[in-house]
Amino acid sequence: MRNHLAITCTTGFLILAMGLDPQSLPAQDAPRSNWVEEALPRLQAVYEHGEFQPAGFDGKWLPDSSGYTIRERDPETQKRSLWSYDAQSGERSPADQQDEHKLEHGKRLSPDENHVVEFQKRNLVVRDLKSGEQIRLTQRPRDRDVSYRDPVWSPDGKHIAFIESDSTQVRQRSVLVPSDPSYPGVRDVRFARVGEQIPALRVGVVASTGGDVRWLPLEVPEEGCYLGQVDWAENSDQVLVETLSRFRDTREFTLYSLDGESTRIYSETNPAWAVGSQGTNSGLNWVREGDAFIVVSEKDGWRHAFLYSRDGDEIAVLTPGDYDIIDRAVVDENDGWFYFYASPENATQKYLYRVPLDGTGTLERITSKDQPGSHDYDFSPNADLAFHTFSTLDSPPIIELVELPSHRVLRVLEDQAELRAKMERVISHPTEFLQLDIGDGISVDALMIKPKNFDDTKKYPVFVYVYGEPYLQTVLDKWGAGQIDFHRVVADMGYLVVSIDNRGTPAPKGAAWRRSIFGSLGPLSTEEQAAALKELGRQRSYVDLSRVGIWGWSGGGSNTLNAMFRQPELYDVGIAVVPKPQPHLYNAWFQEIYMRTREVNADGYERSAPIHFAEGLEGKLLIITGSGETNTHIQIIEGLVDRLVELGKPFDYMVYPNRDHGLREGSGTVVHVRMLILRYLIENLTPGPQ
């Protein structure tokens, strides 16, 4: 049991005075008196100076796939101009004006490349690129809070389809505007909370020359719905609309003709969700000149690609087998291939595969076998070439121009030589990826970062980084994943930094894995994180389970609270950054996918909410948030603060004024947040071997 004599709920007390001479800090401030002078410059190098930011490559493919354009700065004039490169020879030449237009306007450019659709005073307008003449397409009503988005040209350029979002009935919450410190302003912000009214959506079609808007006859239930893909259906006569139910457990694709007729071509219902918060399954790809389409679904237990006729009949499963598509890549109709990302053997990595479009299901890996890690491809329009980016957690991304499907490298576009040399000095031990068996046939992915001068004959404290919710994985073999730059600094202070992906995270391990948390986020992740940590302690004698800290951001902050409240015998220190201890106060768009509403799932919300288990707190807890939060807004957290005060529980509380969910606003904030986390950890969990 961990007993404390006084409540230490503080704010400014915790602010780290960056300008102080580290030697002036009293010795009792931290067991390691030199930690500030070691950690601060490293964090500033990462977050303020960008010294570990890899060089990017912003090439855009030419429509004929012969080459690509890059905007480059003239070393003499410092002006940026657009250049074209031949893909095969690498020859460089000035780009023409049409390439400039395509790069600047993208999909908003008309098919004849003479007009562009734009937003002006929250209305849609079409502008003639030569004359500058404008035609207004919409007229926002003055008495309603209406906005327009996602305009798309018909192939013949005669019409534009778009989405209208009406938030008039969405409730507003008042937030302070930082102006006069004594008399701050107040503004109202629309916020669709769990169970409350969401924006009303509809799809309009208007002539590109202006005129009346035709509204498609969507069937929208009283509770509202969301829209996925809205596009022309491979012709200029029909619009494809993907509708998603409010809970995202049902989705449909419907074709609407301009005269108002509609035909449903695909429908899917899942007891949990058909489309998650990442939107990976959303949308379809037309093939066979619009006579068929490819849709991604988890209806058979894995995320697979299915081929359907335009009439809605299933033709084939393109990707049969016990593996998941991580994401779609490209459809190469000319040669008859569907390219996608997968990693059947390792859920922390990502590779390019393809299968034939004829439905025979023969799986072919395209990524080279000698390049373990994570891979992304930016394909040329004909899919014969690609900008290939690959990295690992410890190796910065190399960018190549490759031929497909041979994967022959035409040239290296960015080798990150300077950054690689830096990383050799920074990384004292390679990040270790592990599989932890937590029983009942469940094995979870984990990673571990060891401190410099690591000695496996001694025991080290553990600092767990948790997310654990359905939006993302933290255990990824990919450059920049999982707060790795910060965690390397933490490890070198004398900690084993560990991260674990429990069931319910979006790992490519099958639909059952991802949907295991449906109904209540928190209980299962807390149990499995604890079980995995204990298994790690069993496997590795140098893991000191008598010294354990945990931290996380957003959903990870919530899981940090659950760990501290529900597993107090295991965790000594917790740092919860912008958590949501009362999930029923969170936004409807995310929370209702996984937990519905309290009206239909009261028990799930009760079991999920950390606030209901606050009496279990025994260790040291720091809660960090920003008063300008628009995501997990501060009132969600203040309820927990009041509850801990009511219970007489000691804890610490830091509020960054006017900062939002990422805690980035204001000079020095990003480094300050991480120095605060480090200070709290070092002061409350003794670092180093014992």
Model pLDDT for residues 431-475, shown as the tens digit of each residue: 999 999 999 999 999 999 999 999 999 999 999 999 999 999 999
Return the domain boundaries, the chain. 59-109, 429-684
Whole-angstrom distance, CA of residue 131 vs CA of residue 387: 36
**Mean pLDDT of the region 240-256:** 98
**Is pLDDT at 61 greater than 80 in this prediction?**
yes
Residue whose entry in the numeric block shows the structure tokens 């768009």: 589
For residues 8 and 156, which has the higher predicted lDDT (pLDDT)? Answer: 156
CATH number of 429-684: 3.40.50.1820
Q: ω into residue 583 within 30 of 0, thus cis?
A: no
| Parallel/antiparallel/unpaired status of strands 185-190 and 262-269 | unpaired
**Is pLDDT at 632 greater than 50 in this prediction?**
yes
Whole-Å CA distances, 405 to 129, 338, 368, 372 = 39, 12, 10, 18
The reported pLDDT for the residue numbered 96 is 83
Whole-angstrom distance, CA of residue 676 vs CA of residue 459: 25
Whole-angstrom distance, CA of residue 209 vs CA of residue 134: 10
- Identify the band that residue 32 occupies on the pLDDT scale cut at 50, 70 and 90: low
Identify any residues that bridge with 214 across adjacent strands, giving them in sequence order. 205
Residue whose entry in the numeric block shows the structure tokens 């288990």: 613
Q: Pick the closest to residue 460 from 429, 482, 486, 439 (CA basis).
A: 429
pLDDT of 16-30, one tens digit each? 333 333 333 333 333
pLDDT of 581-592, one tens digit each? 999 999 999 999
The answer to whether the pTM exceeds 0.75 is yes
pLDDT of 119-133, one tens digit each? 999 999 999 999 999
Identify any residues that bridge with 342 across adjacent strands, giving them in sequence order. 351
The reported pLDDT for the residue numbered 467 is 98
Residue whose entry in the numeric block shows the structure tokens 């270790």: 432
The reported pLDDT for the residue numbered 521 is 98
Whole-Å CA distances, 61 to 78, 381, 497, 592 = 24, 7, 41, 39
In this structure, are residues 548 and 533 in contact, taking their beta carbons and an 8 Å threshold? yes
Stated length of the chain? 690
Q: Where are the beta strands (DSSP E) in 182-300?
A: 185-190, 200-207, 214-215, 225-232, 238-245, 250-257, 262-269, 284-287, 292-297
- Classify residue 365 as exposed, middle or buried by CB count within 10 Å of its CB (0-12, 13-18, 19+): middle
The reported pLDDT for the residue numbered 60 is 95
Angle between the 484-492 and 35-47 helix axes, to the nearest 10 degrees?
Answer: 170
In this structure, are residues 53 and 43 in contact, taking their beta carbons and an 8 Å threshold? no
pLDDT of 305-359, one tens digit each? 999 999 999 999 999 999 999 999 999 999 999 999 999 999 999 999 999 999 9
Count CB atoms within 10 A of the CB of residue 629.
Answer: 21
Count CB atoms within 10 A of the CB of residue 599.
Answer: 9
Q: Extract the tokens encoding 60.
A: 């855009």
- Identify the band that residue 33 occupies on the pLDDT scale cut at 50, 70 and 90: low
The reported pLDDT for the residue numbered 129 is 94
**Is pLDDT at 15 greater than 60 in this prediction?**
no
Residues contacting 292, CB < 8 A, separation 6+ = 286, 307, 308, 309, 310, 315
Spacing of C-alpha 224 from chain mean position: 25
The reported pLDDT for the residue numbered 106 is 85
Q: Extract the tokens encoding 656.
A: 């960054």
pLDDT of 151-186, one tens digit each? 999 999 999 999 999 999 999 999 888 888 899 999
**Mean pLDDT of the region 181-206:** 96
In this structure, are residues 581 and 609 in contact, taking their beta carbons and an 8 Å threshold? yes
In this structure, are residues 379 and 385 in contact, taking their beta carbons and an 8 Å threshold? yes
- Identify the band that residue 137 occupies on the pLDDT scale cut at 50, 70 and 90: very high
Residue 436 host element (H or E): strand 432-439
The reported pLDDT for the residue numbered 6 is 36
Mean pLDDT of the chain: 94
pLDDT of 466-486, one tens digit each? 999 999 999 999 999 999 999
**What are the φ and ψ backbone dihedral angles of 262, each rounded to 5 degrees?**
-135, 150
**Mean pLDDT of the region 476-501:** 98
